[in-house]
């Protein structure tokens, strides 16, 4: 194990423990006892919250914003793909070298999506009004992560820079808006409790009373 492996592992552990704490503390918090008689049923609503309700056809934030939405999805896919490569490279699991090039190119293009979103944030008046320094740095770290992974894969150079960069990203997650990664599943869950109990999710058969 190199020094950089150790740094990466430490950063990962710190990040994972704080994120998990954040998650568990929230889950463990008191929630209001809700004795209202349900109209709908909750389990199918929970399932729907993570599936059908996420469909871009159902959400105006997707279907009224196709370019941004598409860029956003690719950008997020790129982040997960970079984490996948980080795992491969850090654990020393060998993958056929023939995968490096296409993966690198893929990540370079998803990084471009991240860059486009960053530019939109910096240029559009509406987005600037809604943004804090944290929003820019969060994007830069996540986009940069993909760039560094791509460069590592394409150049076949050492992994030190990647591991260092990834460590920064790990450490930044729990203290920034990147923590939405921790809260996202919970958000969907709470929304499902709300809409499920009230019979709004999943949408009933149309006029099928």
Partner 1 sequence: MTISDERKRQGLDLLSEKMTGKLRTHLNSCVHCGLCGESCHYYLTYGEDKYLPGHKVDLIAGIYRRYHTLMGRVAPSWIGAHDLDDERIDEMIDVIYGGCAMCGRCTLHCSVGVDISFLVRTARSMLAAMDLVPASLQSTVDAAVTTGNNMGIPQKDLVDTLLWLEEDLHMEPGFEHAEIPLNRKGVNVLYTLNPREPKFFPMSISAMAMVFHAADESWTLSTDYYDVTNYAYYSGDDGIAAELVQRLFNEAGKLEAKTLVLAECGHGPRAIRWEGPRWIQTPYPFRALTVVELMAEYIRQGRITLDPAKNRETMTLHDPCNLARDGGVIEEPRFILKHAAANFIEMTPNRENNYCCGGGGGQLAMGEFAERRLRVAELKADQIRRTGAKIVVTPCHNCIDQLMEVNKEYQLGVKIKTMAEVVADALVLR
43 binds partner 1 (CB under 8 A): no
179 binds partner 1 (CB under 8 A): yes
Q: Which of 37, 57, 91, 93 binds partner 1 (CB under 8 A)?
A: 37
51 binds partner 1 (CB under 8 A): no
Q: Judge contact between 95 and 88, C-beta under 8 A.
A: yes
72 binds partner 1 (CB under 8 A): yes
36/91 with CB nearer partner 1: 36
Q: Which of 7, 12, 88, 188 binds partner 1 (CB under 8 A)?
A: 188
How far apart CA 112 and CA 100 sit, in angstroms, is 18
Residues 86-145 that bind partner 1 (CB under 8 A): 124-127, 129-135
Q: Judge contact between 144 and 165, C-beta under 8 A.
A: yes
69/83 with CB nearer partner 1: 69
104/174 with CB nearer partner 1: 174
175 binds partner 1 (CB under 8 A): yes
Smallest distance, partner 1 to C-beta of residue 28, A: 8
Q: How would you write the chain as a 3-class SS string? A: CCHHHHHHHHHHHHHHHHHHHHHHHHHHCCCCCCCCCCCCCHHHHHHHHHCHHHCCCCCHHHHCCHHHHHHHHHHHHHHHHHHHHHHHHHHCCCCCHHHHHHHHHHHHHHHHHHHHHHHHHHHCHHHHHHCCHHHHHHHHHHHHHHHHHHHHHHHCCCCHHHHHHHHHHHHHHHHCHHHHHHHHHHHHHHHHHHHHHCCCCCCCCCCCC
Q: Which of 3, 91, 93, 206 binds partner 1 (CB under 8 A)?
A: 206
76 binds partner 1 (CB under 8 A): no
Please count the residues of this chain forming the interface with partner 1, following the rule CB under 8 A: 61
Binding site for partner 1 (CB under 8 A): 26-37, 39-40, 49, 53, 59-62, 64-65, 68-69, 72, 124-127, 129-135, 175-177, 179-180, 182-184, 186-188, 190-191, 193-194, 197-200, 203-204, 206-209
């Amino acid at each position: 194990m190199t020094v950089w492996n150790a740094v990466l592992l430490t950063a990962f552990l710190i990040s994972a423990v704080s994120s998990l704490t954040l998650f568990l503390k929230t889950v463990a918090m008191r929630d209001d006892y809700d004795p209202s008689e349900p109209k709908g049923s909750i389990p199918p609503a929970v399932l729907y919250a993570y599936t059908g309700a996420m469909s871009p056809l159902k959400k105006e934030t997707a279907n009224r914003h196709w370019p941004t939405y598409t860029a956003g999805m690719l950008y997020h896919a790129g982040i997960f793909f970079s984490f996948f490569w980080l795992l491969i490279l850090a654990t020393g699991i060998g993958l056929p070298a023939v995968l490096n090039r296409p993966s690198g190119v893929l990540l370079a293009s998803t990084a471009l999506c991240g860059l486009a979103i960053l530019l939109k944030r910096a240029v559009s008046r509406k987005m600037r009004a809604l943004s804090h320094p944290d929003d820019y740095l969060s994007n830069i770290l996540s986009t940069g992560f993909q760039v560094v992974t791509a460069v590592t894969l394409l150049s076949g150079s050492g992994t030190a820079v990647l591991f260092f960069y990834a460590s920064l990203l790990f450490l930044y997650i729990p203290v920034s808006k990147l923590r939405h990664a921790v809260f996202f599943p919970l958000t969907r869950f709470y929304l499902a409790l709300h809409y499920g109990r009230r019979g709004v999710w999943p949408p009933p058969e149309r006029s099928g009373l």
